[in-house]
Amino acid sequence: MDAFTIRVEDGIGWLVLDLPGEPVNMITRAVRHELDEALDRLVADKEIRAVVLISGKPDSFIAGADIDEFVALQSREEAYELVRSGQALINRLERLGKPIVAAINGSCLGGGLETALACTYRVATDNPKTRIGLPEVQLGIIPAAGGCQRLPRLIGVRAALDIILAGKQVVARRAYRVGMVDELVPSAILEEVAYKAAKRLAGGWRPKRRRVGAADLALDRNPLGRRVVFATAKKQLLKKTGGHYPAPEAALRAVQHGMKHGIEAGLDMEAAFFAELAVDDVSRRLVQIFFATTALKKDPGVEGDVPEPVPVSNLGVVGAGFMGAGIGGVAVAQAGVDVRFRDNDFERIGKGLEGARKILKGRLKRRRIDKYEYRRLDSLLSGSTGYESFRRCDLVIEAVFEDLDVKHEVMREIEENVRDDCVIASNTSTIPIARIAQVVERPERVLGMHFFSPVEKMPLLEVIVTDRTAPWVTVSAVAFGREMGKTVIVVQDQPGFWVNRILGPYLNEAGRLLQQGVTVEHIDKAMTRFGFPVGPVTLLDEVGLDVAQKAAKVLCDAFGDRMRSTEGMERMIEDGRLGRKSGSGFYRYEKGKKRDVDETAYEIIGAAAGSKVPREDVTKRMAYSMLNEAARALDEGVVRSPRDGDIGAIFGIGFPPFLGGPLRYLDELGAKRVAETLQQLAEAYGDRFAPCPRLVRMADAGERFYPA
């Protein structure tokens, strides 16, 4: 045996999993085989009366089934066989005849949790790396080693669906609260507590489960109550997935079926669904996204010689407005660094500190941190109207008003007050970084860090490098962005960078359709049906029409007519309709809640009465403008790879993950077909749709962005 070792101590068998050569434990074919053998030995050894299953790795209990193994599956039959053998093994573990304690430290996910669920008792550490959950649906599959059966029986259907349908991972404290684990302990005493539990179990003691979710469990026993829970879950699910994601729907059915007809029947259904989903396109694309994100976590952001990043322990934030506060707040909450705000007056600084604190308070409330940690982090926040103490900063991010003169002034001030090895970043969404850096003496240490709003919620960060940005500066910004919990892509300093560049033509097209008499509802619905989380008109309202218009102007100045936005948009702004923040845009807002479409908007923009745009062209015009621009910008080197482009679109705009990102989707459609469609659109609606040179080349040569 390579992965497992067994050692016996006073009647307790320690079953230790440490998969050689891997950073995490996962369930590979070999691991399954070895576990089977190990169980033989545990049964055979009369001295062993109870077992502790524990990991030999520092931060990983078991990260689930080996994803590489299931993406290699070629057929349903093969997938079915794989999942059945996994189920049989977990069933065997559950019925071993000797109690087993799962001692959980680090990631306990998917098949890892399913293994733990089949154990008699679960102890988990309060290590922040201990994450427990069933992420399968995020990969387009379902928990298929009993997760859809054992979890609802342990914690109640409602709580289980909450985890399974969203593919959630929770920290141990939360897992303990809902009853997924029986004991929560500091890492230092995990072994001791697990050992004692095993001893007690060996002596005949059986855990009496805490009465967590007692009301839920009562509800589960009542068929009528259960039906209500499932019906509600299904409704909410369809609203969220729009029917684009088969996995959560399948998981829901597997849970429901199992609760009604028993575990065996439930397992049959899990296996049947898994076999179908694992070889399906949606799952393949979601897995590609997982691998792309994992690869990005390790990408330093530069090619060739990779310098060491400057470690950031002191961050300066100039401009304590909404963005600045968000950046500072996330930096302290996530990376635990000292954050110093600088702004013109104390009122603004006070507001910024309050905004940053709000992020900490949110974490306290959700129990991500305790009150001691809250106090510690809170004490790292400070602010002033001057730059004293900026000499301590390793990184300074400016988030002042989007105006070149203001940015210039701030850049000069920052440079005068920081050390030579301090990285200077601008959080701008529209102004070229090279222009911002014009006024500094050492432009090589300046780059852009484009955070999205609200900083706490949006997962993407664009790090924007100019021709002069030094590699050590890039790697430092990338590393710190990652410490802030962001998915980071490095992009070239071109107008709109990546995200706004591909968003621009898409939003413009929505504006044109409005002008041509297509309704707001129709436009938004077309794109949510396509798979976007919100439609483009809703998005315009959310972002703010003035902000969107500013970005549109930058793009139009740089790229000309192809990027021109509509006059209607100007008129909305003149009328003071800026979207949600002004209480009215294309939709009406009441007390911060979005209401129905504001019909008077049509008049303001001068919309044609009744649309003559064919239904199928509505979706195509918007989607294909984005696809075309993505291909063009990639060709111009705005992003470093199709991977970065796709991840940027998915995490920055909410491009439908099940399509794999715009470039992956282009491959799927085929360059030839896309170029032809664009040509038709160009003939019908104007030159802006003309296929970009890259697509034309690819169509001629039969090329793809990704290897087939």
Sketch the per residue contact string, 94 through 133, with ligand T1G: x for CB under 6 A, - otherwise: -------------x-xxx--x-------------------
Active-site residue (options: 136, 276, 462, 509): 462
Rounded to whole angstroms, the Cα distance separating 404 from 344 reads 17
DSSP 396-451: EEE---S-HHHHHHHHHHHHHHS-TT-EEEE--SSS-HHHHGGGSS-GGGEEEEEE
Going by their DSSP bridges, the two strands 593-597 and 587-590 should be labelled as antiparallel
* Amino acid letter for position 664: R
| 3-class SS of residue 45 | coil
* Amino acid letter for position 66: D
Please report whether residue 64 would count as binding ligand T1G according to CB under 6 A: yes
Rounded to whole angstroms, the Cα distance separating 103 from 472 reads 42
Sketch the per residue contact string, 278 through 317, with ligand T1G: x for CB under 6 A, - otherwise: ----------------x--x--------------------
Considering only residues 534 through 593, tell me which ones interact with ligand T1G, judged by CB under 6 A.
Answer: none
Question: Is the C-alpha dihedral spanning 477, 478, 484, 488 positive or negative?
Answer: positive
Rounded to whole angstroms, the Cα distance separating 662 from 649 reads 7
Residue selected from 23, 186, 243, 576 as contacting ligand T1G according to rule CB under 6 A:
23
**Nearest approach, Cβ of 303 to ligand T1G (angstroms)?**
18
**Nearest approach, Cβ of 647 to ligand T1G (angstroms)?**
14
CA-to-CA dists, residue 372 to 6, 280, 325, 360, 368, angstroms: 40, 47, 22, 12, 12
Residue selected from 17, 54, 55, 66 as contacting ligand T1G according to rule CB under 6 A:
66
61 or 387: CB nearest ligand T1G: 61
Residue selected from 147, 319, 443, 504 as contacting ligand T1G according to rule CB under 6 A:
147
Residue selected from 38, 123, 141, 325 as contacting ligand T1G according to rule CB under 6 A:
141
**Nearest approach, Cβ of 185 to ligand T1G (angstroms)?**
21
Residue nearest to ligand T1G (CB): 110
**Nearest approach, Cβ of 83 to ligand T1G (angstroms)?**
6
Please report whether residue 26 would count as binding ligand T1G according to CB under 6 A: yes
Structure token digits, residue 206: 């059986």
Q: Which candidate, 524, 585, 500, places its Cα nearest to that of 242?
A: 524
Q: Which candidate, 638, 634, 502, places its Cα nearest to that of 563?
A: 502
**Nearest approach, Cβ of 170 to ligand T1G (angstroms)?**
12
Please report whether residue 144 would count as binding ligand T1G according to CB under 6 A: yes
Sketch the per residue contact string, 352 through 371, with ligand T1G: x for CB under 6 A, - otherwise: --------------------
Close Cβ partners of 201 (under 8 Å, ≥ 6 residues apart) = 50, 99, 101, 120, 121, 207
208 or 297: CB nearest ligand T1G: 297
* Amino acid letter for position 670: G
Please report whether residue 136 would count as binding ligand T1G according to CB under 6 A: yes
What's the CA dihedral at 28, 30, 31, 37 to 10 degrees? 150
**Nearest approach, Cβ of 26 to ligand T1G (angstroms)?**
4
Please report whether residue 68 would count as binding ligand T1G according to CB under 6 A: yes
Q: Which candidate, 122, 116, 98, 105, places its Cα nearest to that of 49?
A: 98
**Nearest approach, Cβ of 146 to ligand T1G (angstroms)?**
8
Structure token digits, residue 171: 């920290």
63 or 161: CB nearest ligand T1G: 63
11 or 128: CB nearest ligand T1G: 128
Residue selected from 13, 86, 383, 504 as contacting ligand T1G according to rule CB under 6 A:
86
Structure token digits, residue 342: 């600088």
93 or 543: CB nearest ligand T1G: 93
Please report whether residue 135 would count as binding ligand T1G according to CB under 6 A: yes
**Nearest approach, Cβ of 68 to ligand T1G (angstroms)?**
5
Residue 462 appears among annotated catalytic residues: yes
Rounded to whole angstroms, the Cα distance separating 325 from 157 reads 39
* Amino acid letter for position 654: G
Question: Is the C-alpha dihedral spanning 443, 444, 446, 450 positive or negative?
Answer: positive
Please report whether residue 67 would count as binding ligand T1G according to CB under 6 A: yes
65 or 555: CB nearest ligand T1G: 65
**Nearest approach, Cβ of 143 to ligand T1G (angstroms)?**
4
33 or 98: CB nearest ligand T1G: 33
**Nearest approach, Cβ of 311 to ligand T1G (angstroms)?**
19
Q: Which candidate, 429, 420, 423, 431, places its Cα nearest to that of 447?
A: 423
104 or 543: CB nearest ligand T1G: 104
Q: How many residues bind ligand T1G (CB under 6 A)?
A: 26
128 or 576: CB nearest ligand T1G: 128
Close Cβ partners of 459 (under 8 Å, ≥ 6 residues apart) = 485, 486, 487, 651
69 or 598: CB nearest ligand T1G: 69
Please report whether residue 24 would count as binding ligand T1G according to CB under 6 A: yes
Contact 443, 468 (CB under 8 A): yes
Rounded to whole angstroms, the Cα distance separating 667 from 705 reads 6
List residues with catalytic annotation.
462
By CB under 6 A, name the binding residues for ligand T1G.
23-24, 26, 63-68, 70, 86, 107, 109-111, 114, 135-136, 139, 141, 143-145, 147, 294, 297
